[in-house]
Structure 1
Amino acid sequence: MEIQCTGNTNKQSDIGENDSNRPNVIFIMDDQHRWDALGKVNPQVITPTLDSLAEKGLYFSQAVCQAPMCVPSRNSIMFGLYPNQTGVFRNSGGLPDSLMPAKTMAQYFQEAGYETAGFGKTHWGKYRTSTRGFETRYVSEIDEEGAISMSSVNPAAKTRYDAEIGPMGAGEENNLGYLGFTSKLPEEDHRDGWITKKVIEYLEKRDDERPLFFYLSYMKPHAGHNVPEGYEELYDSEHIQYAEQPPWEEDRSVHAKGVNRREMYEPYWKNATEEQWKLMTMRYYANVTWIDDMMGRTLHTLRKKGLLDNAIVVYTSDHGEMLGEQYYRFNKYNLYDGSVRVPMILSGSALPDSLGINRVNDFPVENIDVMPTVLEVAGINPGIELPGQSLLGLKKRNGTFSALHERDDEAAFMWRNKEYKLILVFNRKQSAPEYTKNDIIGGEFYDLTNDPNEWYNLYDQSEFREKQEQFTVDLLDHLYKMVRFGD
């Protein structure tokens, strides 16, 4: 499971000059992975693969997603644009191929002469799409025109898996989905297990001489917590620490009240036993460990085939998971740290020597920075000025941005750095995209240094008004620039 990344043999000035030294680009993502569900950060969690990647590269401790839900977040990552620029705001949204706002990451690499291979979840949204730049494409759940799907190749396994998760409800996110159970199915009957099997088969047979853009995206550790046998046994559930509840009598969220199925979660988990809380949390971590193990097997095969000898490896997640924090709040759909922060790692032998290894970078970074990073390392000019910035040469950034559009009448935006966080709630604009101070209808402000749990809302308190005002100016300025992007 340990990853052996070779030393860097390419200087930054050499990257992308010709086919012989263009690095392979390995982009790995999973789903609903909390920022602190990482052994490097939390000794409770077993993630040897990701820890090894971080030891050989950079771990970005303050990374955030641009929308705390799958569809807008993944569109944002793959187009390199903010949700306000893609026009994809919710999981119910999406874009047909004819209305794509820009090239996808895979299209850039395909046009630059790379072989493009994509495995696993993309979740473009409600429209059936093409593979959008992937020459080889395997999907486990949502079909794309031209992709090979689990249901077409192994329908019996897909039927068995769907039957097992049926009682977990929509999105596998009811209370049983979170409490979980040990799966009775073999790994290859699971969607992520099937994808990993196809990845290994593909890599073992691959003989293409072109540089490779490789995309691997898992559906877990998103609930349900039905991890295959062998992973729960790695944990001692008796000693698992779970979410501590704030000293409240009711939910105090200003920006996300009533958008996370509270009527289902709150009564159940208020009355859950300590054993149930520990089991739920442990099974989430066991899911994380299972995904980490499959990542390790994939990277081992890539190394065996020589594909890591000259490569960049990027890892992130589309968003986090609350796991009962903030007064029995589960899944995502909010702008608190458990949901918006993600574990981001940049590693691989093609990283410039000047970046160093085994470093923790606490600069404010975003998932939108993945696109300019991988394009720069491959020497690809996007032809437009992308709103993100390359992780290879970070410039001054005052904060990070995330957006929540889950209510019809409101929009909430976050501006965050390591010390403070501002969340502003606006009257949602249906026709005009510009937001001004006059549209603000509420807010939250947190001192993250002294209140990392975000329990004490300091919005409009005199002691923090000057800092809050500066964050407000920065957030409105960021929204203004997004509206005018591409003008």
Structure 2
Amino acid sequence: MKSIYSIPLIFLFITQWSFGQGDTKPNVLFIISDDLTNTAVSAYENAAGHTPNIDQLAAEGTLFTRAYCQFPVCGPSRASMLSGYYPHGTGTFGYVSGREQIGPDRQMWPQLFKDNGYYTARVSKIYHMGVPGDIEKGTDGTDDPASWTERFNSQGPEWLAEGESELVQNNPFSLKPKQGGNVMTIVKAEGDDLVHSDGKTAEKASELIRKHKDQPFFLAVGFVRPHVPFVAPKSYFDPFPYQEVVLPPKVINDWDDIPERGINYVTTKHAKMSEEQEKKAVAAYYASVAYMDAQVGKVLKTLKDEGLEDNTIVIFTSDHGFHLGEHGFWMKVSLREESVRVPLIIKVPGQQPQVCHSLVELLDLYPTVAELAGLPTQGHLQGKSLVKTLENPDQEVREMAFSVSVRGQGHSFLLRSQKWAYIQYDEDAGGGMELFDMQHDVKQYNNLAYLPRYQPVVAEFQEALRTKLQEVRDNDLK
């Protein structure tokens, strides 16, 4: 007997893969959060988080459990993702858009859609913006004008917002602690969601969806929370009393078996944080995430209310992660899991909800969405399309994910396989190495890189890194 569901499912499948053909063009709604670690998204491994709207999107799309950024700092991560090149492929390691590195003739990801008849717009931070600086001033940051039909900034008061305020770290870069800037200042703000940048971003994004619903659009929506300062309306703090926060375990001599370069730039020790301050920072981070999630929900509701879900590809991710006291580390920059792994959800109309455990990279989004939309790329992209994982989540995209970081003049490298995480400081390993067995030591407490029995594994990764860097630098920009 034929299933009553067979015809609708076949229709949805055909509709999905006919995107980009004939008169049918899918919309793209790209949503990116700033500094969002997987462990704060309850659809992942931490039920302490409160992200019902992101969780609902995950329940409707493909959730990737092993997605990695290419650089755990905002500017170079976004430049890599949007240009289609690894940082070492273009030498893009700073707070730039990447346009100067790839030149005027290369298409950025949203520009590809603009050049193929789409209305393209960004709301708030997509390419790099300084947080809180550009948000306070309402300025563009290091944007790429060629990518957009229109662009909109969302000014907000940030750490100057009215409300109860507290700095929970001593600023390690100054003799005098400061209340603002790129530090962990908490503000339980007065007023509603629309006082702040992310509330304004959700409102503008919803307005643009309604205004452009009758033409194909690529809408990029950038939320700045939970990036520091931790600012949100005070009601979002209520579900997260800091007294109930359970901090990561403190392991005696945790840093003794890692190179000095492996100790992050902000630590509990160097920032002189008390246990109470640590708990307040974690609680405030979760409150900021909850506020951001509520804004995501408003945008997704508008998409649904306007009847656009069946013709819109939705992507949700972050530019990198964030340490919340693991190993005594805070913020980003490190190549440990909490800093370099990102949440990633892709929802394509007509596909069943699923979970994919393949190693993937943010660099893969450009070719993936281009293929889904049936748009030809210039052939230079260094990412890999994830379309086959959307067809079958058991498909493996790559054997290893590759990420890099820079502190001072020193470059650090991560190769992450399903079993191992290998970190090397400097191309000649002069700054040291780390090797973690991710099947038996998922929190990365035991560095195996210098133990005799693991030298064959280290040698394999060193050779793999040399090969990867050669491949990455062998691009057609020359």
- In the alignment, the residues of structure 2 paired with residue 246 and residue 42 of structure 1 have an alpha-carbon distance, to the nearest angstrom, of 21
Q: Does 1:342 align with 2:342?
A: yes
* Residues 1:196 and 2:182 are matched in the alignment: no
Residue 51 of structure 2 corresponds to which residue in structure 1? 47
Instruction: State the Cα distance separating 1:29 from its structure 2 match.
Output: 0.5
Q: Give the counterpart of 1:68 among 64, 68, 72.
A: 72
What's the offset of the Cα at 1:383? 1.9
Which of 440, 450, 460 in structure 2 is aligned with 1:460?
450
In the alignment, which of 1, 18, 23 is matched to residue 14 of structure 1? 18
Alignment of 1:297 onto 2:298 = yes
Question: For 1:160 and 1:483, how far apart are their aligned partners in 2?
Answer: 41
2:175 equivalent to 1:174: no
Q: Which amino acid aligns with 1:445?
A: L
- Give the C-alpha shift of residue 129 in structure 1: 4.5
What are the superposed Cα offsets for residues 295-351 of structure 1, whole Å, 9 maximum, x if unpaired?
01111001111221212111110001111222x22111110011000111111315x
1:134 corresponds in structure 2 to: 148
Report the CA distance shift for 1:164/1:252 in structure 2 as closer, same or farther (over 3 A).
farther
Q: How many equivalent residue pairs?
A: 441
Residue pair 1:173, 1:224 contacting (<8 A) in 2 also = yes
Q: Spell out, residue by residue over 1:342-370, the C-alpha distance to the aligned partner (whole angstroms, 9 max, x if none).
A: 111111315xx4xx31x221111011111
Q: Deviations over 1:368-418 (max 9, x none)?
A: 11111111111011121421111111554111000012221x211100023
Q: Corresponding residue for 2:26?
A: 23
Q: 1:80 to 1:292 in 2, by over 3 A?
A: same
Relative to the length of structure 2, the TM-score reads 0.84
| Structure 1 residues 270-349: aligned runs within 5 Å | 272-273=274-275, 275-326=276-327, 328-349=328-349
Cα distance in structure 1, aligned partners of 2:28 and 2:312: 6
Query: What SS class does the counterpart of residue 226 from structure 1 fall into?
Result: strand
Report the AA paired with residue 335 of structure 1: L
Q: 1:407 and 1:164, CA in 2 relative to 1: closer, same or farther beyond 3 A?
A: farther
1:105 matched to which residue of 2? Answer: 109
Indicate conservation of the 8 Å contact 1:255/1:424, yes or no: no
- Displacement after TM superposition at 1:187 (Å): 2.2
SS at the partner of 1:9?
helix
Distance 1:316 1:242, change over 3 A: same
Code of the residue aligned with 1:281 in structure 2: it is: V
Unaligned runs of 5+ in 1: 1-5, 141-149, 151-156, 427-434
What CA distance in whole angstroms lies between the structure 1 residues aligned with 2:179 and 2:372?
40
Task: Answer whether contact 1:90 1:406 (CA < 8 A) is retained.
Answer: no
Partner residue of 2:465? 475
TM-score of the pair, normalised by structure 1: 0.83
Letter in 2 for 1:199: A
1:3 corresponds in structure 2 to none
Moved more, 462-471 or 368-377: 462-471
The answer on 1:38 being equivalent to 2:47 is no
Q: Does 2:371 match 1:365? A: no
Q: CA–CA distance in 1 between the matches of 2:241 and 2:165?
A: 28
Q: In percent, how many aligned pairs have the same letter?
A: 27
Question: Following the alignment from structure 1 to structure 2, what is the Cα–Cα distance between the partners of residues 67 and 16?
Answer: 31
Alpha-carbon separation, structure 1, partners of 2:244 and 2:159: 33
Cα 1:189–1:96 change in 2 (3 A) is: farther
Alpha-carbon distance change, 277 to 98 in structure 1, aligned in 2, over 3 angstroms:
closer
- Give yes or no for contact 1:44–1:240 (8 Å, CA) kept in 2: no
Q: Look up the match of 1:145.
A: none
| Structure 1 range deviating more: 444-453 or 206-215 | 206-215
Q: Distance in 1 between matches of 2:122 and 2:143?
A: 14
Contact 1:313–1:347 (8 Å) recurs in 2: yes
Partners of 2:80 and 2:98 within 8 A in 1 = no
Q: Which residue of 1 aligns with 2:374?
A: 379
Report the Cα distance in structure 2 between the residues aligned to 1:348 and 1:59, rounded to whole angstroms: 12
CA contact (8 A) 2:40 2:46 kept: yes
Q: 2:246 aligns with which of 241, 262, 267?
A: 241
Pick the structure with more strand per residue.
2
Cα offset for 1:477?
1.4
Query: 1:432 corresponds to which residue?
Result: none
**CA, structure 1 residues 442+201, in 2 after alignment: closer, same or farther (shift >3 Å)?**
same
Match of 2:392 in 1: none
Flag the 1:47–1:124 CA change in 2: closer, same or farther, 3 A.
closer
Pairing of 1:215-230 with structure 2 (within 5 A): 215-230=220-235
Q: Sort the Cα spacing of 1:254 and 1:469 in 2 relative to 1 into closer, same or farther, 3 A.
A: same
Q: Where in structure 2 are the equivalents of 1:249-288 lying within 5 Å? A: 253-254=258-259, 256-257=261-262, 260-262=265-267, 266=270, 268-269=272-273, 272-273=274-275, 275-288=276-289
Aligned AA (1:401): F
